[in-house]
Amino acid sequence: MLAGYSGKAKNIEFIEDEKVKIIFRDSISAFDGVKLNELDNKGVINCKISTRLFQILHEYGLETHFISSSKDDEMICERVEIIPVETVCRNKTAGSFCRRYGVDQGIKFESPIIEYFLKNDDLHDPLVNKEVAVNMEWMNSEEAMLMEVITRAVNHILKEVFDLINLDLIDFKLEFGRNKDGCLLIADEISTDTMRLWVKKTGEIKDKDRYRKDLGKVIHHYEDILNRLNTINDLPNIETQTEANVNINLKSSVLDPAGAVTQRSLTRNQHETIETTRLGKNAKLIFSEFPSFSLLKEIKGISSEILSNPLIEDFEIELKYNL
């Protein structure tokens, strides 16, 4: 027996070369495992949907743990250490958002909302914020920034892809992990179990809410999603909105004559409470590439080698995805 573990719907086996085999079972669960059933063929369908969606993300250059599909119900993935905080991206209100804030479902957000949840069934996956997650060392601040922009980029891509097959992406959950080199990858699964999809115009529910709400014909609708995905030949042309702002400042130990001149002028104009003024510079880089750990590494290289002088300057990178 290989080492590994079992989740609520999948088994994970550790295999050679820092890889894992993820086996999708026919189990389905809701309400933190309180409701549990077996549905024929669910493992195969979810594995195929997940495989297709990971492949699509790869085609747009996103970095995920997915390597290949070995059998109908199995994926081979990079072994990662899972970050215990998952991101949820919402385009319209539904589910726990409506319960938490007492609002109707189906209200469209002006721009997509990102939330963070701690992965802990016993605590019912509580909502957390970035400050809590970083302070508790569940992730570092760089990972928090990347998780947010990557989740926004995935939303942009999946929304456009589902739009092609007449489905409205209401919300979805992503998990992230670090591989042995510390590279942040999208992990776990992306399937009808982890997102809400409604048929456009009619609002018919096609996702796990069919099971949560006992609407019936769960597998029929999951299979329909897979069939619709399989009809897509050409992926939509999506222009990325990845932006990096690099703020460059003189190190605090380095004299800043221009800042001192500005400071004197401020004091002369009665702004006596300003004690120190330091002037920096900003570089805005707009990429034709979706956000990723590798892109951030490239921006760090550019920042230290070209945009700043590491002997006298420090820099900070802020990544944004403008959707």
Q: Which spans of this chain sit near ligand ASP (rule: CB under 6 A)?
A: 8, 29-33, 208, 212
Q: Where are the beta strands (DSSP E) in the chain?
A: 4-6, 10-15, 19-24, 27-30, 35-38, 66-71, 74-78, 81-82, 85-92, 108-118, 127-128, 167-178, 184-187, 195-199, 242-250, 281-287, 313-321
Residue nearer to ligand TMP on the CB measure, 62 or 174: 174
| Angle, vertex CA 300, rays to CA 58 and CA 256, nearest 5 | 155
Closest-CB residue for ligand TMP? 95
* 3-state SS assignment for residue 316: strand
Residue among 159 and 208 whose Cβ is closer to ligand ASP: 208
Which partner in ligand ASP, ligand TMP, none is near 176 (CB below 5 to 8 A by kind)? none
- 211 makes contact with ligand TMP (CB under 6 A): no
Sign of the torsion formed by the C-alpha atoms of 11, 80, 151 and 144: positive
Q: Whole-angstrom Cα distance, residue 108 to residue 3?
A: 44
Our CB check for ligand ASP shows the closer of 222 and 293 to be: 222
| C-alpha span between 305 and 161 (Å, rounded) | 38
Residues 76-115 contacting ligand TMP, CB under 6 A: 88, 94-97
Contacts of ligand TMP in 121-160 (CB under 6 A): 125
C-beta of 7 vs 259, nearer to ligand TMP = 7
The nearest distance, CB 96 to ligand ASP, in angstroms, is 9
Smaller CB separation from ligand TMP, 49 or 244: 49
Residues linked to residue 68 through DSSP beta bridges, in sequence order:
76
Which of the ranges 167-175, 224-232, 262-270, 308-316 carries the binding residues for ligand TMP, by CB under 6 A?
A: 167-175
Asked if 171 is part of the footprint of ligand TMP (rule: CB under 6 A), the reply reads: yes
Which is nearer to ligand ASP, 33 or 236 (by Cβ)? 33
Report the candidate in 77, 72, 68, 67 with the shortest Cα–Cα distance to residue 44.
72
Residue 76 near residue 70, CB atoms below 8 Å: yes
Token pair, residue 41, equals 């063929």
Indicate which of ligand ASP, ligand TMP, none lies near residue 96 (CB less than 5 to 8 Å, by partner kind): ligand TMP
Binding mask 37-76 for ligand TMP (x = CB under 6 A): ----------------------------------------
Output 114 or 164, the one with its CB closest to ligand TMP: 114
DSSP letter at 141 equals H
Residues with Cβ within 8 Å of 18's Cβ and at least 6 positions away in sequence, in order, are 78, 79, 179, 180
CB-based closest residue to ligand ASP: 29
CB of 29 to ligand ASP, least distance (A): 3
Position 196 contacts ligand TMP (CB under 6 A): yes
Instruction: Pick between residue 8 and residue 278 the one whose CB is nearest to ligand ASP.
Output: 8
Report the alpha-carbon distance of residue 193 to residue 51 in Å, rounded.
Answer: 14
Q: Pick from ligand ASP, ligand TMP, none: which does 92 bind, CB < 5 to 8 A by kind?
A: none
Q: How far apart are CA 229 and CA 49, in angstroms?
A: 8
Give the binding site for ligand TMP (CB under 6 A).
Answer: 88, 94-97, 117, 125, 171-173, 194-196
